[in-house]
Amino acid sequence: MRSVVGLLVLAILFASAARAELAPGDRAPPVLAIAGKQVPLPEGNWIVAGRAPGAVTPGKDLGSYGTIWNVVLLRISPRGALDAMAEINVNDMAVDDGWGVAADCQRSDLVLTVVRSRAGWDATCFFVTHTIWNRDTALPAAWRQANAVAAQRGLILPATTVTAGFRVANRRDIIDVRFHFLADPADVPATNWNASQWSRDQLQQDRWRLAFDRSVAEWSAMMIGHVEAGLKNRLPPTWITPAPGAAEASLDRASIMSLRQRRLAALRSSGLLSAAQADRQSALLRQAEADDSHDAIDPGADDFYRLLSYQGLSVTSDALVTFMWTAQSVQAAAVTLLQASLRTGRSYAVAYLWDWYGDTPTRPDIARTVDFAYGGVDR
């Protein structure tokens, strides 16, 4: 018994030592631990290039999150060149009232945006686009450090990258990670984001660029599950995440859904699940995998349109009923108008009193938009 307690103490001491924050220049592990969360990195030789407090928008009304840790990493190819960059933003302290979705996840002009969950206290989405790197813009502190590290190592920073952005957030924590892949080192800087050869409109005419974007998109669909798992520290520390361009079978094998299927199979073989239960759950898992946009309907918008249609039809039925009984259009209009006004006033009063005297304070179940200061330009 004592040995177990002793081991726990040792483990906790060891854990705190192992969680010591990485400094610029350090080689990054395959799963980066930052502020009590894990961020998986696609396979490769990553180095931490910058780490500094970042900025969040809006900065107010998010509670006491401490600070935002902005970490920039560079991936060095076997030939010694820079072939990818990553920028990570995470909260230092957990909050009580959630975060929100990224503005980029709500855009329609990107190559791909997928919103898997968008509610008041839960957000999961990813997107694929391109980023242009304008050296004249004011850079966040972590990016300034990264530029210095790159210069020190003789790494050439790109003009344009293909970006896969991931946002996962729950009531407590947020991870915002953007991976920037150097597709073509010969890319010339575009005058603006829209004019780039990587923009959605120009991409259709360029089969090579289209294929590159497609491989990043396929990889992103696998990656989002791992970023989600990282929010709850559920990735094995030595987990290797395949990089874009990996074989389809390899991406399938590494996907969270595939891992869950294997776990179901293990439960079945251990006898904890019957064959029928395992088959049923396996089918439900496949269904969940196919339905990638679950909860994509904004609950707030859903509520709004439900209310609008209900109120519209109620007022219409009130007008008809009153006219049917009074046979006077003026009286019917007056009654309907008064009723609608009083009921609206009542609803506001109930909401106010609910907020004031209810057990818990409330806010709409609508995702807020929360963003960070980033290094590149993607609009």
Q: Per-residue x/- marks for another protein, 31-60, CB under 8 A?
A: x-x--xxx--------------x-------
Site for another protein in 158-217 (CB under 8 A): 170-173
Residues whose CB falls within 8 Å of the CB of residue 185, separated by 6 or more in sequence, listed in order:
81, 156, 158
Q: Is 204 helix (H, G, I), strand (E, B) or coil?
A: coil
Which CB, 145 or 322, lies closer to another protein?
Answer: 322
Our CA angle for 275, 278, 280, nearest 5°, is: 105
**CA 170 – CA 195 distance, rounded (Å):** 36
**CA 318 – CA 322 distance, rounded (Å):** 6
Residue 77 found at the interface with another protein (CB under 8 A): no
**Residue 262 beta carbon to another protein: minimum distance, rounded to whole angstroms:** 10
Residue 12 found at the interface with another protein (CB under 8 A): yes
Q: Which of 57, 152, 293, 329 binds another protein (CB under 8 A)?
A: 293
Could you tell me if 376 and 180 are in contact, meaning their C-beta atoms sit under 8 angstroms apart?
yes
**CA 255 – CA 247 distance, rounded (Å):** 13
Q: Which of 109, 206, 248, 291 binds another protein (CB under 8 A)?
A: 291
Could you tell me if 147 and 324 are in contact, meaning their C-beta atoms sit under 8 angstroms apart?
no
Could you tell me if 74 and 149 are in contact, meaning their C-beta atoms sit under 8 angstroms apart?
yes
Among candidate residues 102, 256, 257, the one with its CA nearest the CA of residue 174: 102
**Residue 107 beta carbon to another protein: minimum distance, rounded to whole angstroms:** 20
Site for another protein in 241-260 (CB under 8 A): 260
Could you tell me if 93 and 51 are in contact, meaning their C-beta atoms sit under 8 angstroms apart?
no
Which CB, 37 or 209, lies closer to another protein?
Answer: 37
Which CB, 35 or 149, lies closer to another protein?
Answer: 35
Q: What is the DSSP string of 236-281?
A: -TT--BPPTT--HHHHHHHSHHHHHHHHHHHHHHTTSS-HHHHHHH
Q: Which of 27, 107, 306, 379 binds another protein (CB under 8 A)?
A: 306
Residue 264 found at the interface with another protein (CB under 8 A): yes
Number of residues that bind another protein (CB under 8 A): 111
Residue 314 found at the interface with another protein (CB under 8 A): yes
Q: Is 358 helix (H, G, I), strand (E, B) or coil?
A: coil
Which CB, 192 or 329, lies closer to another protein?
Answer: 329
**CA 39 – CA 229 distance, rounded (Å):** 9
Residue 70 found at the interface with another protein (CB under 8 A): no
Tell me which stretch binds another protein (CB under 8 A): 78-86, 132-140, 241-249, 264-272: 264-272
Residue 296 found at the interface with another protein (CB under 8 A): yes
Q: Which of 326, 329, 352, 379 binds another protein (CB under 8 A)?
A: 326
Residue 352 found at the interface with another protein (CB under 8 A): no
Tell me which stretch binds another protein (CB under 8 A): 132-140, 144-152, 175-183, 307-315: 307-315
Instruction: Return the beta strands (E) in 139-223 as ranges.
Output: 160-169, 174-181
